[in-house]
Amino acid sequence: MGALNAGHNHNRTDTRQPVGLLVGRFGWFTVIIVVLFGLALRVSDLRADPPWDLSWSFAPYTDESLNTYSARNMVLYGAWKVDDFNPYVVYPLVNMLVAIVFRLFGIGFVQVKLVSVAAGVLSVLLLYLLVRESDGPLAGLLAGLGLATCFPLVMYSRLGLIESVQILFLLCTGLFWVKGLSRPRLMFWSGLLAAATFLFVKVSAVFLVPVMLTMFGWELVADRCDPDRLKGLRNKFAWFAAGVAVAAFAWLLLVFLPFRRDYFRYLARHSFESPAGHPGTIPAYLFNTFVTGMWSQLLERLVWTAVPGFLVLPFLFLRRSPVWRYLFLWLVFALLQLGYMNYRPPRYEIIIIPVLIASFAAILARHIHTGTLLPRFKATVPKALLYSLWLWPLTTQVVLHVRNVKTFPEDAAALRWLGLGLVPAVVVGLAGYLLIRLSRREITLPGRLSRVALALLLLGLSLQLDLRQFSNWFSSRTHNMFDWARAVDVALPDSAVVIGTWAPPFMIESRKRAVAISDWANLDDPVGRFRATHLFLGQGHTDELLVERLGPLLERSTPLGMVAIPCQSWTQEIALFALPEPPASKPGSSPIAPAP
């Protein structure tokens, strides 16, 4: 299959050359420098607000405290659940780790981010190790550098969200799988981490189930005629299944059995009964899948990495490397699952970025080694049409971008846009087929200097885009959340009980009681139930429901201040109110007693 299908022989770096010195004699030193650079980007002024245009939702401001709400409750009140809001059931591992951080270093804006920061930094090292397994140290180093500086990943790992930990576990699962093919006992850790990814880290990582089943199925087909290899595969599967069983047993013991009602309620609310709903038709589903990364501006933020990485990924998959098989399936099944979600903020989509970075790094390293511009392989019309289907989402996004489409269309319009996107995909696929047939040989760039120059140009464009975005944010950063939270904590009495959708975010620096309100949790009589003294009120859907429930009580409340929080779509004004004297609590009730 030519250069794209070459193995490690083409990835051996001449250690006498400057590039060889970086990845050979000074290889681990260079890796450590890259990891430390990624760490520096992630820990620089953790009290700063995220970029206002990072997301169209307010999740970068709110969700780190809402996702770790149970950890705060455990540290302050000794129980994961003290009211109806219990994110421990869907994010147990992150809440456990953040609770440890809170106990060691106290509760605060910086502390809530440390687990995510650590996961982001470790992911740099893990991606290096994973790509190195297939494509050598240079490709691994470039992949690590891409992950270390990737602006969306840097920004989201600076927040106390779940996705950075999810990415870390996905990388760990793949690395142990690849290592386990030659050392079967390591399959135990691959199975353990795979199950833990969707049981302990985030339920939406369930797309990993078909990924791993396909990986085993692939090995089964490859080994079906060799009894010894089949026996070895059964041994690997046994170790993998043992890891899954241990993770499942721990989850049953620590999460499901104590909180099964909460688990089913969370699952129903965030999937089957989600207010945003799900695509109801095939055109709607395809359209929703194809625009992944477009309206969230993720592709725009890393266009020099994502587009080349996406274009070459199928060719890397054809090399029959377990690394690229895993990464390819990761991307495909993640996209298929993301397409099912109508509510899909950018942080949900960042899980596909490491795959694109790895693909870009591998092809860049291969170009430095071989100078390949167009590989030599047997081109056929069916292959060209299959590649056209791969290009279809990308060309559809180009069409939508050119036509400035910003909203989800009806089914008929969706079909029209999908058809318009398919035409250039087929044209490009067939043009590539003709070019390969006419060239009849591999097209390479002669001379190491010219190869390195072109690679440095592409790498420089990617790094420049990432670092320029970081520099623009850092030079104009604000501290509205932190400053206002500190001011509120000083102003409120120690006995204050604060409720509202924005109560946990603004009270993360405080040890005072903060009660999260959502449209399905703690909405009924929160003032009387928790003896609330203060209220944070924004302008979201839950805030509107809260206004309806509180009614005349708000008219007797005293406004204490207001802060404006911006995002891509609009700026939300959050007000703090002092509530009237709460009614006496019912006998035997307590606002901080562990909830049943």
pLDDT tier, 439 (very low <50, low <70, confident <90, very high otherwise): confident
| pLDDT band for position 593 (cuts 50, 70, 90) | very low
How far is it, in rounded angstroms, from Cα 39 to Cα 553?
48
Residues 71, 280: Cα–Cα separation, whole Å = 37
On whether the CB atoms of residues 350 and 153 are closer than 8 A, the answer is yes
Given a cut of 60, is residue 52 above it in pLDDT? Answer: yes
Q: Is residue 387 part of a domain?
A: no
Domain assignment of residue 459, yes or no: yes
Task: Quickly state the pLDDT bin for 17 (edges 50, 70, 90).
Answer: low
Q: C-alpha distances in angstroms, 558 versus 158, 423, 575?
A: 35, 61, 10
Question: What are the structure tokens assigned to 432, written together?
Answer: 């590539």
Q: Are residues 361 and 261 in the same domain?
A: yes
Q: Is the four-CA dihedral 213, 218, 221, 227 of positive or negative sign?
A: negative
User: Measured between alpha carbons, how far is 89 from 261 in angstroms, rounded to an integer?
Assistant: 10
In a domain, 462, yes or no: yes
Question: Comparing 539 with 25, which gets the higher pLDDT?
Answer: 539
Question: Is 596 part of a structural domain of the chain?
Answer: no
Average pLDDT over residues 183-201: 97
Task: Please tell me whether residues 135 and 182 are part of one structural domain.
Answer: yes
Q: How far apart are CA 229 and CA 147, in angstroms?
A: 36
Non-local (6+) Cβ contacts of 297 within 8 A are 53, 346, 568
Q: State the number of CA atoms in the 13 A half-sphere of 146 facing the CB.
A: 33
- C-beta separation of 327 from 280 below 8 A: no
**CA 61/CA 563 separation, integer angstroms:** 13
What spatial distance separates the first Cα and last Cα of the chain, rounded to whole Å?
62
**Measuring CA to CA, which residue among 502, 562, 551, 561 is closest to residue 528?**
551
- 13 has pLDDT over 50: yes
Q: Which amino acid is residue 511, in one-letter code?
A: R
Mean pLDDT in residue range 319-324: 92
Taken in order 414, 415, 418, 419, is the CA torsion positive or negative? negative
Q: Nearest CA to 112 among 169, 149, 162? A: 162
CA dihedral 196, 56, 116, 197 (to 10 degrees): 10
DSSP 5: G
Question: Given this model, what pLDDT does residue 6 score?
Answer: 40
Task: Give the pLDDT of residue 588.
Answer: 43
Residues 150 and 229 reside in one and the same domain: yes
Contact 103, 112 (CB under 8 A): no
CA geometry: angle 565, 567, 572, nearest 5 deg: 40
Pairing of strands 513-516, 558-566: unpaired
> Identity (one letter) of the amino acid at 519?
D
Are both 325 and 198 inside the same structural domain?
yes
Identify the weakest region by mean pLDDT among 1-10, 183-192, 323-332: 1-10
E-state strands within 355-454 = 372-374, 443-444
Which residues partner with 472 through β-bridges? none
User: Chain-centre distance of CA 479, in angstroms?
Assistant: 24
Tell me if 431 is assigned to some domain: no
Concatenate the DSSP letters of all residues of 9-42 into one string: GGG---TTSHHHHHHTTTHHHHHHHHHHHHHHHH
Mean pLDDT value across residues 225-232: 87
| Distance from C-alpha of 265 to C-alpha of 253, rounded to nearest angstrom | 18
C-alpha 502/C-alpha 515 separation (Å) is 9
CA distance 175 to 189: 10
264 with 288, same domain: the answer is: yes
Report the CATH number that the domain containing residue 501 is assigned in CATH.
Answer: 3.40.190
Q: Which residues contact 505 (CB under 8 A, 6 or more apart)?
A: 61, 62, 64, 65, 66, 481, 485
One domain, residues 538 and 467: no
Tell me: do 544 and 446 sit in the same domain: no
- Percent of the chain as helix, strand, coil, to the nearest 5: 65, 5, 25
The torsion angles phi and psi of 559, rounded to 5 degrees, stand at -70, 135
Q: How many structural domains are present in the chain?
A: 2
Q: Inter-axis angle of helices 114-149 and 448-475, to 10 degrees? A: 140
Q: Please tell me the least confidently modeled range out of 126-130, 486-490, 542-546.
A: 542-546
Residue 518 DSSP code: B
Q: Which range of residues forms the domain containing residue 506?
A: 480-578
Structure tokens at 38: 């990624």
CB-CB contact of 345 with 60 (8 Å): no
In terms of domains, do 11 and 124 share one?
yes
Strand 571-578 and strand 558-566: pairing? antiparallel
In a domain, 17, yes or no: yes
Same domain, 191 and 339: yes
pLDDT digits (tens, 9 = 90+) for 396-420: 999 999 999 988 899 999 999 999 9
Q: How high is the mean pLDDT of the chain? A: 90
Beta carbons of 347 and 55 less than 8 angstroms apart: yes
Give pLDDT, residue 589. 46
Q: Is the pLDDT of residue 552 over 90?
A: no
What number is the average pLDDT over the span 509-531?
92
State the CB neighbour count (10 A cutoff) for residue 110: 18
Return the number of other C-beta atoms located less than 10 Å from residue 240's C-beta.
26
Q: What is the DSSP letter of 559?
A: E
pLDDT recorded at residue 7 = 42
One domain, residues 466 and 494? no
Mean pLDDT, range 7-24, rounded to an integer: 54
Q: Are the CB atoms for 201 and 169 separated by under 8 Å?
A: yes
Q: Does residue 80 belong to any structural domain of this protein?
A: no
Same domain, 210 and 239: yes
Same domain for 553 and 455, yes or no, is: no
Q: What is the mean pLDDT of residues 527-549?
A: 91
The residue behind tokens 């592709």 is 299
Residue 183: strand, helix, or coil: coil
Determine the pLDDT at residue 194. 98
Asked whether residue 396 is assigned to any structural domain, the reply reads: no
Q: What is the DSSP string of 393-443?
A: HHHHHHHHHHTT--SPPPHHHHHHHHHHHHHHHHHHHHHHHHHHHHH-S-E
Distance of CA 123 to the CA centre of its chain: 12
pLDDT at 445: 77
- Under 8 Å between Cβ of 497 and 579: no
